[in-house]
Amino acid sequence: MSNDNINNLTDNSSQSAETLKIAEAFLAASGSGDMKALNALMVDDFVWHNEGDKSLPWIGTWEGKDTVLNTFLPAFGAGLKTTSWTTDYSFANGDQAVFMGTMSATANNTGVDTGKFSWAVRVHVKGDKVKSWNWFEDSYSISNVYNAEK
């Protein structure tokens, strides 16, 4: 890593603190289902990206605030019910924040529980809004319960 990159990691503490504050508000709003707060915190060309097994209807890239609010979130909510949640780590660097934790969920279509698994999300903040959300989870575990035989 060059000295310029090292300096970029250390010279932006006030921006990092603001980034973390905005990203935490977004995380809280998404976890509680507060659509009004989510709407207020997203830029119009917001991108929500979920890595994982594409057999799950909510995996992939969702572009635009309206698409995320009116297509992605209802699909996710119809597919999975979160049954436990922890946020164990959070940090920010400039306009990027990262959260990591554990969760468990039940697939609504099968009633099967995932058991506890790890998750992480990378959040890009632009100004006072969220530009993108890149979610990582154990989609193998989720796919197994979502695609399980009833």
CATH number of the domain enclosing 23: 3.10.450.50
Q: Say what the pTM is.
A: 0.86
pLDDT at 2: 43
Domain total of the chain: 1
Domain span at residue 27 reads 3-146
Task: Answer whether 8's CB lies under 8 Å from 23's CB.
Answer: no
pLDDT in tens, 56-87: 999 999 999 999 999 999 999 999 999 999 99
Nearest to 133 by CA among 32, 84, 65: 65
Please say whether the dihedral angle defined by the alpha carbons of residues 86, 115, 51 and 42, taken in this order, is positive or negative.
Answer: negative
pLDDT of the residue at 1: 43
Three-state secondary structure readout of 63-121: ECHHHHHHHHHHHHHHHEEEEEEEEEEEEEECCEEEEEEEEEEEECCCCCECCCEEEEE
Each residue's pLDDT expressed in tens, for the chain with a length of 150 residues: 444 444 444 456 888 999 999 999 999 999 888 999 999 999 999 999 998 888 899 999 999 999 999 999 999 999 999 999 999 999 999 999 999 999 999 999 999 999 999 999 999 999 999 999 999 998 888 999 999 886
- The reported pLDDT for the residue numbered 83 is 94
